[in-house]
């Protein structure tokens, strides 16, 4: 099979060469097509961090194995890592965190084994990067959580948990505060859970989850989260097992998958041949298993585990009383230990069953959409307006625009209600949200909303607007804090 390989920036080429040397020594049946991605491609003028030829190659092969990549700072460009995951809809980020004997942590010293799999939604949430300045003082970021996107990653998490024989799957969320967005994700979780009655499914508020992971990590098995929360919790879990240098990452999609190291590019040690290739190697082993190369993966991983147990280490970890080895020496030691078995974490030598690669030729963007159960009704709108006036003054101007169809029901500032009830102790900024709702929840049209928008511009600069929807008599929007 042929796969696409991007060496990465900084230490990327060194650790990628070490991993490919290990694969070659193990006669892994893969061919590599190297593609141009990374900071140096940004610097050549390609705003997405990859050449058109690289994108075409990856889309034709379906597998990308990549080293760490840097996004230039202060140039208004998006992260090539996030761009790649989102462009190819690799909706599930799977990261496995396991105790590695020879990598000392507070938990390994206490004899507490860790085996946690984090599944992070990879496409939506704040990673849409949709941000605007509403006033010179107020920035807005939009957070999208969709039912189809949530179902994709949650179904993957349950299916993966079932295959690995997991005892528990947990949804981490903040639905106590973000009742609509995180609430939708949590609703999808329990909807999918009904299809897997043999798995214990539960949920934990994400801040409580972080505390419990630090105090009792051995109680968790598979955890699925939204994008930003999953990003943070993933790195927390990496700290439990020794750091990002021991944290593999797989990005799974229906058509394209990406296997990568998620640590930094470490430019301070670039070219010194002293970087730790373990995270990239573990990501590569996940790729081999994904491709059905089970025996190759097991032989290499057993050799890695044996090497770590023997105390062989690069400079970033291990027993400091023992001399460290460089990147090449570390890889060569693993190669020399092929066929040896570790005392802990032994991987079974299952036979290879290589998959037949499917080449997808898509002529249009796949549309993912759930069935709308009830007809949508528009019952109002939130208008985000710029004003440095007091809440009562803003309200008096808004009241001029009431009519027979809609009324002003609340004004908030930074999410807290300041009219009709509020407190003089609430600090306000120069941007208010003014909510107009239809009288008696009577249906409105878009033309009604546009007319109100136009009317308000006589008194205010309208920065943004959101329509208030209702399905089956249920409000599809949140109340204000204090409303």
Helix ranges restricted to H, 225-349: 227-240, 278-290, 294-309, 327-336
What residues contact residue 479 under an 8 Å CB cut-off, 6+ apart? none
What residues contact residue 457 under an 8 Å CB cut-off, 6+ apart? none
Question: With contact defined as beta carbons under 8 Å apart, do 121 and 128 qualify?
Answer: no
What CA–CA distances, in Å, run from 34 to 17, 59, 260, 418, 448?
A: 12, 13, 14, 58, 56
Most distant CA pair in the chain, distance: 83
Residue 320 has a pLDDT of 87
**CA 403 to the chain's CA centroid:** 45
pLDDT over 80 (residue 292): yes
Question: pLDDT tens digits, residue range 232-257?
Answer: 999 999 999 999 999 999 999 999 99
Q: Which 3 state secondary structure label does DSSP give 200? A: strand
Cα angle 321, 322, 326; round to 5: 130
What percent of the chain is helix, strand and coil (3-state, nearest 5)?
35, 25, 40
pLDDT over 60 (residue 75): no
Residue 77 has a pLDDT of 65
Residue 30 has a pLDDT of 97
pLDDT over 60 (residue 93): yes
Question: With contact defined as beta carbons under 8 Å apart, do 77 and 47 qualify?
Answer: yes
What CATH architecture does domain 376-475 belong to?
2-Layer Sandwich (3.30)
pLDDT over 80 (residue 76): no
pLDDT over 70 (residue 360): yes
User: Please, what is the average pLDDT of the chain?
Assistant: 93
**CA 349 to the chain's CA centroid:** 32
Q: Does domain 92-252 have CATH number 3.40.50.720?
A: no
Say yes or no: do domains 92-252 and 376-475 share a fold.
Answer: no
pLDDT, greater one: 10 or 375: 10
At 207, the pLDDT band (50, 70, 90 cuts) reads: very high
Which residues are registered as beta bridge partners of 408? 436
pLDDT over 60 (residue 362): yes
Please give the Cα distance from 190 to 377 (Å, whole number).
27
Q: Where are the domains of the chain?
A: 1-89+258-371, 92-252, 376-475
Enclosing H/E stretch for 222: strand 222-225
CATH topology of domain 1-89+258-371: Isopropylmalate Dehydrogenase (3.40.718)
Mean pLDDT calculated for residue range 318-330: 93
Full 3-state SS string of 53-120: HHHHHHHHHCEEEECCCCCCCCCCCCCHHHHHHHHCCCCEEEEEEECCCCCCCHHHHCCCCCEEEEEE
Question: pLDDT tens digits, residue range 10-60?
Answer: 999 999 999 999 999 999 999 999 999 998 888 888 888 899 999 999 999
Residues of the chain with pLDDT > 70: what percent? 98
At 376, the pLDDT band (50, 70, 90 cuts) reads: confident
Question: pLDDT tens digits, residue range 442-471?
Answer: 999 999 999 999 999 999 999 999 999 998
Question: With contact defined as beta carbons under 8 Å apart, do 202 and 212 qualify?
Answer: no
Please give the Cα distance from 423 to 441 (Å, whole number).
28
């Amino acid at each position: 099979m042929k796969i696409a390989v991007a060496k990465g920036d900084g230490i990327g080429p060194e650790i990628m060469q070490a991993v490919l040397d290990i694969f070659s020594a193990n006669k892994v049946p893969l061919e590599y097509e190297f593609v141009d991605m990374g900071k140096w491609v940004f610097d050549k003028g390609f705003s997405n961090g990859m050449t058109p030829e690289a994108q075409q190659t990856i889309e034709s092969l379906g597998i990308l194995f990549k080293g760490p990549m840097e996004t230039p700072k202060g140039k208004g460009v998006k992260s090539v890592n996030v761009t790649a995951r989102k462009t190819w809809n690799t909706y599930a980020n799977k990261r496995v965190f396991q105790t590695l004997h020879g990598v000392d942590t507070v938990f390994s010293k206490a004899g507490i084994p860790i085996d946690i799999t984090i599944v992070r939604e990879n496409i939506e949430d704040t990673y849409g990067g949709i941000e605007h300045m509403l006033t010179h003082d107020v920035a807005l970021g939009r957070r999208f959580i969709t039912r189809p996107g949530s179902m994709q990653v949650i179904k993957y998490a349950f299916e993966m948990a079932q295959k690995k024989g997991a005892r528990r799957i947990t949804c981490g969320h903040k639905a106590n505060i973000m009742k609509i967005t995180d609430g939708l994700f949590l609703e999808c979780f329990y909807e999918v859970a009904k299809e897997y009655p043999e798995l214990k499914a539960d949920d934990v508020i994400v801040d409580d989850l972080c505390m419990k992971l630090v105090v009792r990590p051995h109680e968790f098995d598979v955890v699925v989260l939204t994008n930003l929360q999953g990003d943070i919790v993933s790195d927390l879990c990496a700290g439990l097992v020794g750091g990002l240098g021991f944290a593999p990452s797989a990005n799974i999609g229906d058509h394209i998958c990406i296997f990568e190291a998620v640590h930094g590019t470490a430019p301070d040690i670039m070219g010194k041949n002293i970087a730790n290739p373990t995270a990239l190697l573990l990501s590569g082993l996940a790729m081999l298993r994904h491709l059905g190369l089970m025996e190759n993966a097991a032989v290499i991983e057993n050799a890695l585990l044996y090497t770590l147990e023997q105390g062989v280490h690069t400079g970033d970890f291990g027993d400091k009383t023992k001399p460290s080895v460089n990147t090449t020496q570390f890889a060569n030691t693993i190669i020399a230990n092929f066929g040896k078995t570790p005392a802990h974490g032994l991987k079974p030598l299952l036979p290879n069953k290589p998959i037949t690669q499917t080449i997808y030729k898509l002529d249009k963007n796949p549309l993912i959409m759930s069935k709308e159960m009830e007809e949508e009704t528009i019952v109002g709108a939130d208008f985000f307006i710029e004003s440095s006036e007091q809440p009562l003054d803003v309200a008096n101007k808004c009241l001029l625009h009431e009519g027979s169809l809609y009324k002003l029901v609340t004004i908030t500032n930074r999410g807290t209600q300041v009219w009709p009830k509020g407190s003089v102790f609430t600090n306000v900024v120069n941007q208010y949200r003014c909510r107009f709702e239809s009288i008696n929840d009577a249906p409105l049209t878009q033309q009604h909303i546009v007319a109100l928008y136009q009317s308000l511009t006589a008194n205010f600069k309208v920065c943004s607007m959101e329509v208030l929807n209702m399905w089956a008599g249920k409000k599809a929007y949140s109340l204000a804090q204090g409303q």
